[in-house]
Amino acid sequence: MTETRIAALVGLGILLALPFITPAYFLHLLIQILLWGFIYTAWSMMGRFGLVSLGHGAFMGIGAYVPALLWNYFDVTPWLGIPLGIVLSALLGFIIGYPCFRLKVVGHYFALVTLALSQVVLLSIVAARDITGGSLGMTPRSIGHSWYALQFPDKGYFYAIALVVWLIGLAVWRWIDRGIGREALEAVSDDEDAAAAIGIDVTREKLRVTIISAALTALGGAVFGQYLMYLNPETVSGIGVSLQIVFAAIAGGMYAMLGPSVGALLTIALTEGLRVWFGANFVGAANTIYGILLILFVVFMPRGILGWVEAARRPRGRAIAST
C-alpha cells in the first residue's frame, strides 16, 4: 500500500512539474489526455458494471452547450452555467436510466437506447441552429483572460483545471470502488435476478452510477468547451465520440482505476504520432487503426491493457469475471 502511495505522489509531482518544462504543444496534448482520461473514467464507472452506454455524447453535449449558450445569450458566467449543465445532464441520466433499469433494458438494448439518446441530443443541437449554429458549431464569446468567464489564453491555467478535474474523476472512482455499491453492482452485472433476490435494489444501484457518470461527463464536456472555445455537435455528441469513448476505455482497461486514462494517453499519442508521421494527407489513418484495434481488443483482450498487466502480475489472484 505504501508503495502505491509513493508511486502516486511521485506521479502527481511529475504531473505538477510538467507544465513548467514542456513546450505549449505538449501542454495542449497533456490537457487533452487529462480531460479525455476524465471522460473515459466517467464512462467506465458504468461500463465496468456492464452498463455499456453509447449515449455519453448526449451528456457531453449538454455539458458543453448549456454554459456556452448561457454565456453567449444571457451573460451568465460558466460558474453557474457549468453546474446547471451538470444538473441537466444528471437529470437526463435519471430520465433515461430509471425506466431502463426498472424495465430491465440491459446489454445491447441498453446500448441502443442510449445511442438513440445521443442522436436526440445531437439532432436537437443541429435543429436549434438559430442559436447553436447547427452543424457549423459555435464559439463562446471571448473576452480574453477572465476568471469570471473561465477563459484563459494561457494554457497553464487549463492544465491546472484539467488536472484537478481528472483527480476528481479518480477520487470518485475510488469512492465508488470502496463503497458497498461496488459489490452490489458487481453482483448485478454478474446476475441481475440473483442480485435482486438477495435484496439488492438493482434499479437504485444502477441509477446511482449512471447519474454520477452523466454528471462527470457533462463536466468534462464543459471544460472542453471552455478550453477549445469551439463547440461542434458532431464532435461532442456524434456516434463517433461515443465509440471513441468506448474504444479508449476498453483499450486502457475499464476495470482498473487508471485504465481509462491509459486509454486516453494511448489514443492521443497514436493520433498525434500518426499525424506527425503521415502529415495531414492521411485524414482518417488514426481512426482506421483504432477501428482495427477496437475489434482486436474486444475479441482478444476485453479487459484492456491495464487489466492484462494486472492479471499478469497476479497469476493466481482474483478470478476474472467472464463475458
Partner 1 sequence: MDIFLFEAAINGLLLAGVLALLTLGLNLIFGVIDVVWIAYADLVMCGMYAVYWLFAVFGWPLPLAFAVSVVGVAVLGVFVHLLIIAPILGSAPINQLLATGGLLYFLQSFATLLFTTDFRNIGVRLPVLEIGGIYISYSRLLAFGVALAGATALYLFLKRTYIGTAIRAIAQDREIIGLMGVDQRRIYLITSAIGGALAGLGACLLALQYDVHPFIGNTFGPLIFMVCVLGGLGNMIGGFIAAFIISQIIAIGGYYFSTELSYVLAFTLFIVLMFVRPQGIIGR
Euclidean distance between CA atoms 180 and 85, whole angstroms = 29
φ and ψ at residue 231, rounded to 5 degrees: -120, 140
Nearer to partner 1 by Cβ, of 137 and 302: the residue is 302
Nearer to partner 1 by Cβ, of 30 and 256: the residue is 256
Closest CA to 158 of 85, 59, 228, 89: 228
Nearest distance, CB of residue 252 and partner 1, angstroms: 14
Nearest distance, CB of residue 250 and partner 1, angstroms: 7
Nearest distance, CB of residue 162 and partner 1, angstroms: 26
Nearer to partner 1 by Cβ, of 190 and 201: the residue is 190
Window of 123-131, 154-162, 199-207, 261-269 that interacts with partner 1 by CB under 8 A: 123-131
Q: Which of 30, 66, 88, 111 binds partner 1 (CB under 8 A)?
A: 111
Residues 6+ apart with CB under 8 A from 145: 151, 152, 153, 154
Residue 284 touching partner 1 (CB under 8 A):
yes
Q: Which of 10, 112, 131, 269 binds partner 1 (CB under 8 A)?
A: 112
Residue 286 touching partner 1 (CB under 8 A):
yes
Q: Which three cell numbers stand for residue 315?
A: 497469476
Euclidean distance between CA atoms 155 and 23, whole angstroms = 10
Residue 137 touching partner 1 (CB under 8 A):
no
Nearest distance, CB of residue 135 and partner 1, angstroms: 10
Euclidean distance between CA atoms 44 and 25, whole angstroms = 28
Residues 6+ apart with CB under 8 A from 162: 30, 31, 34, 35, 38, 223, 227
Euclidean distance between CA atoms 204 and 188, whole angstroms = 11
Q: Which of 158, 290, 304, 310 binds partner 1 (CB under 8 A)?
A: 290
Nearer to partner 1 by Cβ, of 139 and 288: the residue is 288
Query: In 87-126, which positions are buried (b, 16+ CB within 10 angstroms) versus exposed (e)?
Result: ebbbebbeebbbebbeeebbeeebbebbbebbbebbebbb
Euclidean distance between CA atoms 255 and 138, whole angstroms = 36
Length of the chain: 323
Nearer to partner 1 by Cβ, of 77 and 189: the residue is 189
Helix (H, G, I), strand (E, B) or coil at 151: strand
Residue 271 touching partner 1 (CB under 8 A):
no
Residue 221 touching partner 1 (CB under 8 A):
no
Nearer to partner 1 by Cβ, of 171 and 298: the residue is 298
Window of 28-36, 82-90, 138-146, 234-242 that interacts with partner 1 by CB under 8 A: 234-242
Residues 6+ apart with CB under 8 A from 294: 243, 246, 247, 250, 251
Nearest distance, CB of residue 287 and partner 1, angstroms: 3
The answer to whether 260 and 251 have CB atoms below 8 angstroms apart is: no
Q: Which three cell numbers stand for residue 55?
A: 449515449
Residue 107 touching partner 1 (CB under 8 A):
yes
Nearest distance, CB of residue 58 and partner 1, angstroms: 11
- Residues at the site binding partner 1, with contacts judged by CB under 8 A: 50, 52, 54, 96, 99-100, 103, 105, 107-109, 111-113, 115-117, 119-120, 123-124, 126-127, 238-240, 243, 246-247, 250, 282-288, 290-299, 302, 322-323
